[in-house]
Amino acid sequence: MTIDIKTLGQLIDELAVTNIRAWFEQERLMNITGYSVEERVQAAENAQRLNAKRNALIQAIDKKFGEEFTVERKSYE
């Protein structure tokens, strides 16, 4: 199901799950001693992908409320 046809409840649910998944990937990334470099690189890629998904979900939620899209900034600026 594409993001445009999901209900508000589905979007909020998916946002919550995406936030949790992104948090775990960021924890893996920051755990220097517990994971190999390759595992940390994969965690960074996953975290970036999940962050992009999170931004899309937030924009879709804003759209459901008739709001303008939220201002996007790079998280690393």
Average pLDDT over residues 13-41: 90
pLDDT of residue 22: 95
pLDDT number for residue 75:
53
Q: Do 46 and 25 touch, CB atoms closer than 8 A?
A: yes
Please provide the DSSP assignment of 44-71 as one string.
HHHHHHHHHHHHHHHHHHHHHTTPPPPP
- What confidence score (pLDDT) does residue 47 get? 94
Give the tokens for residue 41. 């690189």
Per-residue pLDDT reduced to its tens digit, 29-77: 888 788 888 988 899 999 999 999 999 999 899 888 886 655 565 554 4
CB 70 within 8 Å of CB 15: no
Q: What is the pTM of this model?
A: 0.76
Residues across the chain: 77
